[in-house]
Homo-oligomer: A and B are copies of this chain.
Amino acid sequence: MAHRQAQQRRPSIHDVASRAGVSAATVSKVMAGVTTVKPENAQRVFDAVELLGYRVDPLASDMRRAKRRIIGAIMPEFESEFFGQMVTQLESLAEQRGYTLVAASSRESEARETEILARMHDWRVAGVVLAPVRNEHGPAAAFMKANGMTGVLIDRVLSDDAFDTVSADSAAASAEVARELIGKGHRHILVVGLGEQAATVRARLDGFRSTALKLAPDVRIDVVLAETDVEPLRAQLRDYFGQGANGGERPTAVYSLFLKGTLVALSEFRRRGWHCPNDISLVGFDDAEWMQVTWPAIAAVVQPMRQIAGHAMEALFARIEGGEGPPIARLEPCKVLMRESVGSPGNGPHSGGGDRQ
Q: CB-defined interface of A307-351 with B at 8 Å, one 1/0 digit per residue?
A: 000000000000100101111000000000000000000000000
Chain B CB within 8 A of A56 CB: yes
- State A348–B52 Cα separation when bound (angstroms): 71
Q: How far is the CB of A286 from chain B (nearest CB, A)?
A: 13
Residues in B whose Cβ lies below 8 Å from that of A31:
none
Residues in B whose Cβ lies below 8 Å from that of A162:
3, 5
- State A230–B289 Cα separation when bound (angstroms): 10
Q: Which listed segment binds B: A22-30, A36-44, A84-92, A198-206?
A: A84-92
Q: Which listed segment binds B: A59-67, A211-219, A242-250?
A: A59-67
Q: How far is the CB of A258 from chain B (nearest CB, A)?
A: 13
Q: CB-defined interface of A286-322 with B at 8 Å, one 1/0 digit per residue?
A: 0011100111100000000000000000000001001
Q: Which listed segment binds B: A13-21, A97-105, A168-176, A188-196?
A: A97-105
What is the count of identical protomers in the complex?
2
Q: Is the CB of B79 within 8 A of A88?
A: yes
Chain B CB within 8 A of A267 CB: yes
Chain B CB within 8 A of A275 CB: yes
Chain B CB count within 10 A is highest, among A10, A104, A121, for A104
Residues in B whose Cβ lies below 8 Å from that of A263:
289-290, 293-294
Chain B CB within 8 A of A180 CB: no
Q: Is the CB of A270 within 8 A of B290?
A: no
Q: How far is the CB of A348 from chain B (nearest CB, A)?
A: 13
Q: Please judge, given known A-B contacts A264-B293, A267-B295, A324-B4, whether A84 and B91 are in contact too, CB under 8 Å.
A: no
Q: How far is the CB of A256 from chain B (nearest CB, A)?
A: 13
Cβ-defined partner of A145 (8 Å) among B2, B5, B295, B319: B5
Interface residues of A in 215-255 (CB under 8 A from B): 230-231
Residues in B whose Cβ lies below 8 Å from that of A55:
118, 121-122
Q: Is the CB of B148 within 8 A of A8?
A: yes
Q: Please judge, given known A-B contacts A293-B263, A325-B3, A326-B3, whether A78 and B68 are in contact too, CB under 8 Å.
A: no
Q: Is the CB of B5 within 8 A of A230?
A: no
Q: Is the CB of A59 within 8 A of B91?
A: no
Chain B CB within 8 A of A96 CB: no
Chain B CB count within 10 A is highest, among A77, A79, A294, for A79
- State A231–B10 Cα separation when bound (angstroms): 46
Chain B CB within 8 A of A7 CB: yes
Residues in B whose Cβ lies below 8 Å from that of A78:
78, 84-85, 87-88
- A residues bordering B, Cβ < 8 Å? 1-8, 10, 55-60, 62-63, 68, 77-81, 83-85, 87-88, 91, 100-105, 107, 118-119, 121-124, 145, 148-150, 162, 230-231, 263-264, 266-267, 269-271, 275, 288-290, 293-296, 319, 322, 324-327, 357
A sample of 8 more A-B contacts (CB under 8 A), given A78-B84, A290-B290, is A4-B319, A4-B322, A4-B324, A5-B149, A63-B63, A78-B85, A91-B104, A231-B357
Sample of 27 A–B contacts (CB below 8 Å): A2-B324, A2-B326, A3-B324, A3-B325, A4-B322, A4-B324, A5-B150, A7-B150, A8-B148, A58-B123, A59-B123, A77-B84, A77-B88, A78-B78, A79-B81, A80-B81, A83-B84, A84-B84, A91-B105, A100-B102, A101-B104, A230-B289, A230-B293, A230-B357, A264-B293, A266-B293, A267-B293
